[in-house]
Chains A and B, each alone.
Chain A
Amino acid sequence: MRPMATAEDLSALVSKLGLDKQNKATLGRLIAHGNLGYAEEGADGRMHAQIRIPPDELVWDPAILVLPHGGDLDLEIFNDDQNTHCALFPSNGDSQFIWLPIHSRGTAALNLGGPGYYWYSSPIGNDEGRGLIGAIVVLGDVPQQARLDRPDQPRP
């Protein structure tokens, strides 16, 4: 019986097996095996980040975008691929959609209300199935006034 992979060596093993590339071990790419990046907060309190679609990879880069807290995020989106894709982002009020022609650049303004993670993707063809799924992770806590009146409790 082969040993199970630990979290530390999982990425290496995924790469070795070709699960992070198109048409290797699988037809597409397993989700959540792209890079991780951080949004930066500007002086005005708005957050900024860039995400890209590299050529022939069908993955968002970063696939996991980390925000320090909830609020407004200005995104710059680049499609460096030789195929047309799109993006559908979560945002309070309505999901934000943009076409991404070959070798294009666009922008999106998102508002996310609190901690947790939110999906984004390219919902055309089977882009989602082949790897164009990403997560936006919002750090931090809810506002103080929204917390329970009780002593601090243990967290996992």
Chain B
Amino acid sequence: MTEYVDAGRAVGQASLSGLAGIAPPVVQDVTYERILQARSEPQNWLTYYGTYDGQRYSPLDQINTENVKRLAPAWVFQSGSAGLHAGPSTYSFEAAPIVVDGIMFVSGWDGFVWAIDGRTGQELWRYKHAIPYDTSLCCGNVNRGVAVAKGKVFVVTLNAHVIALDATNGELVWDVTYGDVRAGESATVAPLVVKDMVVVGSSGGEFGVRGHLDAFELDTGRHVWRCYTVPKPGERGSETWPDGPAWTRGGGNCWVTGTFDPELNLMYWGTGNPAPDFDGGIREGDNLYTDSVIAVDPDNGEIRWHYQYNPHDLWDYDSTMEHILFELDGRKLLAHFDKNGYFFVLDRTNGELVRVSPFVDRITWGEIDPNGKVTPKIYPEKEGEEVHFWPGPAGGKEWTHAAYSPRTQLCYVPVQDVGASVTRRRREFKESIPYWGASVTVDSDDMAGSVSAFDPSNGNEVWRWRNDVPMCGSVLATGGDLVFAGEPTGEFNAFDARTGELLWQFQTGCGHHSSPTTYSIDGRQYLAVPLGWGAWVEGFLPGMLGAPHGDALFAFALPQE
């Protein structure tokens, strides 16, 4: 028998990285009640949007319009990689970092989760979920972040698991599969903790799946409820689908995190486009509940009301992006910037339209009148005949988020002004194969972008900071009357929230396609900015497909005395 040298047993790669391996038990005391009051502890960023209302606003004001010009990097976390894992041409850092009492929890693109010291950037622990390389993904290898509560970190994986990790060491607590990769399902959403549950949506509309929301018990991972966003025959809304199999492939995925009003006990989740994206001929009808906001009872997953922004969508105008909750003259409202280029304000108690107005200059696909009546004008109607429309399938605003400042009472939105050519190409449905029903080419020139401020009380634009290319990163508003937004060309910018004046800029070396957050430790305010450029650039800005990818997370702060 051959004698071999004993090579021993394989070890976790993290043990060869110099990380600490353990984090303080800061998440142990994060409860639902504490997340409800998240705004009362502005030193932390406890849930995806910072608070349940989705405002992406922090009252922190140490960094303000007077001193922001002194802002400088405090540390940089290089997420890095070794060996082969993600699709190398499509990864992107798209998360919103969560921060609890000085410890940051953030996810990467390929089943990665890290705990990081928010003061120094030191890696404390990491978790890596093994992701099948061949997972069907319409829009790259991405993950939008984690949720935390009761000592655990919750995250979804690209192969549609939801997992809970011990927040002190990153070890797996529970792991539940909630989507079918063979059917083209995947998962990219940042989970939302509501009461004793973690709520997640599914991805995969571009592969003809049936979208759903799911709730799981925080402690055990027990499945509590599922809410399908495409009704089957006999269910409410099924009359908006034709007879036949169209409903089984209807899309409508909730792949961006919802918001929550605890007083009304309603969650507001946006739903994705119907499938096939562009071929409406085989799904006649309004196709509920696609391209809608659905108000969902968190206790049982039932849809209480809905508002459909794009009935019978023919342009890939998902409505998954945030629904910002705010009050005006004592009325409970929500604000939504849709991919179709219109800014909606709804009464969030019942879904009644309050006002609708355009927020991007070029809108040619159709028109929405002040009463919400939708009139399509240009769409891929005839087989093989190319049409061109604005905004393109990426939308006047992509999934990246707007913000609302209660100080200025303005909404701040990253605007994408880019069109596309689309030719209907009908195809047979098969599981896990892209099901668009069209050939799509997004414009590589004649484009523009902006960060624009809108007054939700009248729908008017208050200021605009113009850019040569679309703005594709989330906006953050702060109590220092600042608005932060990153550019596709790498600059991270601070604007005066009242005037739009550019006050500060730092070149990070890579395009922005994520959600910056802010926090403070021992009285020092930081801005955390994940970077990454690669996922679905062909869909929203093909003119920058050759730009560097990047995989770093910057933290900025004012210099210490």
Which residues of A are in contact with B by a Cβ distance under 8 Å? 75, 77-79, 87-121, 123, 128, 133, 135, 138, 141-143, 145-151, 153-156
Known pairs A145-B177, A153-B431; list 12 more (Cβ under 8 Å): A75-B10, A90-B131, A93-B172, A95-B82, A100-B7, A106-B10, A107-B9, A109-B10, A148-B210, A148-B248, A155-B432, A156-B433
Distance in angstroms from B211 CB to nearest chain A CB is 10
In the complex the two chains form, is B132's CB within 8 Å of A95's CB? no
Report the separation of the CA atoms of residues A79 and B7 in the bound assembly, to the nearest whole angstrom: 9
Note all chain B residues with C-beta closer than 8 A to A135: 133
Q: Which 5 A-B pairs have the closest CB atoms?
A: A116-B132, A106-B7, A108-B10, A119-B84, A105-B4
B407 within 8 A of A: no
How many residues of B are counted as interface, with CB atoms below 8 angstroms from the partner's CB atoms?
58
B183 x A147 contact (CB < 8 A) = yes
Q: Do A153 and B249 touch (CB < 8 A)? A: yes
Chain B hits for A111, CB < 8 A? 130
17 A/B residue pairs, CB under 8 Å, sorted by A: A92-B129, A92-B130, A97-B10, A103-B4, A104-B6, A106-B9, A111-B130, A113-B130, A114-B177, A116-B134, A141-B182, A142-B181, A143-B177, A149-B232, A153-B431, A155-B430, A156-B431
Query: CA of A78 to CA of B7 in the docked complex: distance in angstroms?
Result: 9
Residues of chain B within 8 A (CB-CB) of A93 are 12, 127-129, 171-172
Using CB atoms and an 8 Å cutoff, list the residues of chain B in contact with chain A: 4-14, 16, 82-85, 126-135, 157, 159-161, 171-172, 175, 177-183, 185, 208-210, 212, 223, 228, 232, 245, 247-249, 428-433
| A146-B177 contact, Cβ under 8 Å, with A91-B130, A94-B126 | yes
Q: How far is the CB of A86 from chain B (nearest CB, A)?
A: 9
Identity of the chain A residue whose Cβ is nearest the Cβ of B223 in the assembled complex: A145
Which residues of the partner chain A approach B429 to less than 8 Å between Cβ atoms?
153-154
Q: In the complex, A109→B126 CA distance in Å?
A: 19
Identify the closest chain A residue to B130 (Cβ): A90
Residue with the highest number of chain A CB atoms closer than 10 Å, among B157, B228, B431: B431
A104 touches B7 (CB 8 A): yes
Q: Look across to chain A and name the residue whose beta carbon is closest to the beta carbon of B165.
A: A93
Contacts of A146 in B (CB 8 A): 160, 177-180
When C-beta atoms are compared, the residue in chain B nearest to A105 turns out to be: B4
The reply to whether A118 and B130 contact each other, CB–CB distance below 8 Å, is yes
> Given A103-B4, A103-B5, are A142 and B177 neighbors across the interface (CB < 8 Å)?
yes
Residue of B nearest to A31 (CB): B84
